Structure 1
Amino acid sequence: MAADDSSNTQAGQSGLVVRVPEAEPAVRVWRDRLGPSARAAVPAHVTVLFPFLHESRLDGDTLAAIDGVIGRHRPFEVRFERCGRFQGILYLAPEPGTPFRRITEAIVRRWPETPPFGGQFDDIVPHLTIVQGQDDAVLDEAEADLRGRLPITARVSSVDLIVHDGSQWQQRAALALR
């Protein structure tokens, strides 16, 4: 989550993420040291939507509706070959990014009150955040280290609904792409 500094996250907030365990060996040391979501128990991931619905709204009917929207999308292969940057953030760019955007757009069509990152950004840029809140020298160092560990390939077959308990993120549901 690009804006995922978990120190600013409140209990009950939720998000939708695609876990990328294949990336862990390459990014773990950087995420553990300089990625706030790793400290809040979130593994390497591409954010589909954050923030999403408050936990109080995640009843059985809502979970079924989320599953229905996500289930209309097919599993896909993704490859991480390059890094990208936002201000103070280093990330891995997934290719293709379109399937992630389509899932995000479908969820937002169903729940328009949940724009990506609270509506802070105009474009949906799928990414796997590695380092956050650092200067260019640190980002340069991390990027140089990561170049030798790429590419990373993964199969995306589910989206996780995660909920913040006040200190860490907990998986609430794994929703299959079909």
Structure 2
Amino acid sequence: MAGDDSGENQAGRSGLIVRIPEAEPAVRAWRDRLDPSARAGVPAHVTVLFPFLHESRIDSSVLTAVGEVIGRHRPFEARFERCGRFPEILYLVPEPDIPFRRLTEAIADRWPETPPFGGQFDEVVPHLTIAQGQDDAVLEDAETDLRSRLPVTARVSSVYLMIHDGTRWQQRASFATAARVARAPGT
């Protein structure tokens, strides 16, 4: 999710994320310093869909529909063992990334008017941003430090709706993935 002042943080903007609290001890200090979204209230996360619908369009029927879409997916584990780079961006790579891609595809299919990242990219690459808008030397320092703090393993069982209030991002709802139902043999 965005954290700069380019209009991405207008009041009413929303996004769907998977929170990765297991990564916070490893990444918090770097994110607080180098990722504007952290300073704007966004926890360590992998984005499912940003931007999502404007807050004015999110009513109980939308919340129910998001819950239904997310509820079709099973909980999963993701492991963050290495860093990756985009220009001026350092991130952690989730493995496997397919479950994140499927969540993004499912939400984008349900709300085609909200393509991931506004349709800016041909391919959406799941990632946990550590630093953005930084030069290579700063990214290298962060990556060197992070190597000693990895791997991080996370259990993913929820997706969170975040809405920008004009100053900070606030969590407004959470949506659970489907729980596996244990069945007795022969039933």
Shift of 1:174: 0.6
Letter in 2 for 1:19: R
Shift of 1:110: 0.6
- Assess if the C-alpha contact under 8 Å between 2:83 and 2:93 holds in 1: yes
After superposition, give the CA deviation of every residue in 1:132-168 in whole Å (9 maximum; x if it has no partner): 1000000000000000000000100000001000010
Which residue of the other structure, out of 5, 8, 14, is the alignment partner of 1:7?
Answer: 5
TM-score (norm 1): 0.97
Q: Which runs of 5+ in 1 are unaligned?
A: none
Q: Deviation above 4 Å: which 4+ runs of structure 1?
A: none
Q: 1:23 maps to which residue?
A: 23
Letter in 1 for 2:25: P
Shift of 1:5: 2.6
Q: 2:119 maps to which residue?
A: 119
Q: CA RMSD in A?
A: 0.7
Q: 2:165 maps to which residue?
A: 165
Q: 1:77 maps to which residue?
A: 77
* TM alignment of 1:81-160, pairs within 5 A: 81-160=81-160
After superposition, give the CA deviation of every residue in 1:96-141 in whole Å (9 maximum; x if it has no partner): 1000000100101110010110000010100000011000000000
After superposition, give the CA deviation of every residue in 1:39-88 in whole Å (9 maximum; x if it has no partner): 00111000000000000111001100011001100000000000000010
Instruction: Give secondary structure in 2 for the equivalent of 1:7.
Output: coil
Letter in 1 for 2:105: E
TM-score (norm 2): 0.93
Shift of 1:7: 2.1
CA distance in 1, matches of 2:27, 2:124: 22
Instruction: Give secondary structure in 2 for the equivalent of 1:84.
Output: strand
Q: Which runs of 5+ in 2 are unaligned?
A: 179-187
CA distance in 1, matches of 2:45, 2:139: 19
CA distance in 1, matches of 2:114, 2:61: 18
Letter in 2 for 1:134: Q
Letter in 2 for 1:76: F
Letter in 1 for 2:113: E
Letter in 2 for 1:104: T
